[in-house]
Amino acid sequence: MHKLRALIFGVVSAGVGLLSIWPSFPMIPRRRLALAQLVATENPGLAMITGGLGLVEGLRARSWRAAGLSALGLGLGIRPLIRRKAVNEAMAGAMRDGLGTGWQGGIPPEFFRRFGQSHRTDMWGPLRYLLKARVDVTRDVLFAAPDGHPLRLDIYEPRDAEGLRPAIVVVHGGAWFHGDKSDYAFGLHDRWLAGQGYAVFDVQYRLTGRWPAPLADVKCAVRWVRANAARYQVDPDRIALIGRSAGGHLALMAAYTANDPEYPPSCFDEDDPPIDESVQAVIASYAPADLRLWQAERGGAIDHLLGGLPHEVPDAYRAASPVTHVRPGLPPTLVIHGQRDRTVPPAHSELLVNTLRAAGVTTVALRIPWGRHGVDGLLVGLTGPMIQYDVDRFLAWIFYRQEARD
């Protein structure tokens, strides 16, 4: 019985460990396998705990096979924890490179009490923060109905905040045709940000419309937030966009084409008073920045979105790529990408970052060596709290640094 139990622990530990270092499976078409790999990568404790139990049981039962498998899983689980210090230092350097030496000095001291004080990699600290956050959630608020298609948003508000607060518009991923607001564990991110004092609006967009319908819907959401600022105690001059994957693409496009008449919002009406669509910052995680780099296939998402393949509609691919809209004066941009992402390769973010910096746009690039597609998805995982540490500070630098200068 001891041998069997030890062998089970060993197989599980080694399996999880090997899955965490295996080349990435693409989200399409191997979605479940890719998600399992993401969980294995972001929770090395799974391999460590089962490996430790298997090693003890294996040695007790003199099962060298079980002990060897357990030791392998245990070692693979420990591996990213050994690397985390160097990665934390690299992320701190990236923030310094993007925002300047001494950038944190521009954030008022009272805001540092809201932040985690280190790049956390444990589960309990973030979980305790989420449990303590005093947040009110209002779901399924209708904000538009383009072509009769109702679009709704979820609102996360800090319960005890006083005065006007910055707003964050969150755009979900899902290859433009899947997903929903507050999807998967991202509702926890919304709750986290609301706990920091922000009003968070997690929005829908049409999953059936061709380009530029999704972009028009996101722009409509930004206009709705600005038009309803007084109702939700929002400062209309402090709004940021956050998007992941396809949502990151839409967030970048909405930020970079704000008020462009070639890209009107879906709720546009000539009789309505003009509403500014601009935002003060954009955060994009593993976003397709240049759709011309996408491995387009007949019948695939990008083919449906743009109405053809790159050689058939090259102008559509160019116009729908955030990198082609880069120019001086764009809002500060935080780019996050896992270096082992096969769904959206890191080349997208590297190209965007280089283009933004060449244009003089304030840009921060966070690169996670072991990160896969969805690298920031788990707030109680290995990387999620590390990224959130810098996201919190980036947003505070954007929204509050001017107050510190006054």
Q: Catalytic: which of 24, 245, 321, 349?
A: 245
Q: How many Å apart are CA 40 and CA 119, to the nearest integer?
A: 20
Query: Are 73 and 57 within 8 A, CB to CB?
Result: no
Query: Are 336 and 304 within 8 A, CB to CB?
Result: no
Q: How many Å apart are CA 225 and CA 280, to the nearest integer?
A: 14
Spatial strand order of the sheet with 333-338 comes to 135-144, 151-158, 199-203, 165-171, 234-244, 281-285, 333-338, 363-368
Q: Catalytic: which of 341, 376, 390, 392?
A: 341
Asked about 321 being catalytic, the answer comes back as no
Q: Catalytic: which of 373, 376, 390, 392?
A: 373
E strand residue ranges, 34-100: none
For residues 179, 183, 186 and 192, what is the CA-based torsion angle, rounded to 10 degrees? Answer: 140
Least Cα distance to 197 among 158, 224, 170, 167 occurs for 158
**Complete DSSP assignment for 176-232:** TTS--TT-TTHHHHHHHHHHTT-EEEEE---SSPPTTHHHHHHHHHHHHHHHTTTTT
Burial of 298 (0-12, 13-18, 19+ CB in 10 A): exposed
Q: How many Å apart are CA 116 and CA 133, to the nearest integer?
A: 13
Asked about 245 being catalytic, the answer comes back as yes
Burial of 131 (0-12, 13-18, 19+ CB in 10 A): exposed
Instruction: Mention every residue, 6+ apart, whose C-beta is less than 8 A from residue 354.
Output: none
Least Cα distance to 220 among 258, 179, 248, 188 occurs for 258
Query: Are 377 and 186 within 8 A, CB to CB?
Result: yes
State whether residue 151 is helix, strand or coil: strand
Q: How many Å apart are CA 388 and CA 406, to the nearest integer?
A: 27
For 21, 158, 283, 353, 401, the CA distances from 395, given in Å and listed in that order, are 32, 16, 9, 18, 10
Least Cα distance to 66 among 9, 136, 123, 19 occurs for 9
Where in the sequence numbering do the catalytic residues fall?
A: 245, 341, 373
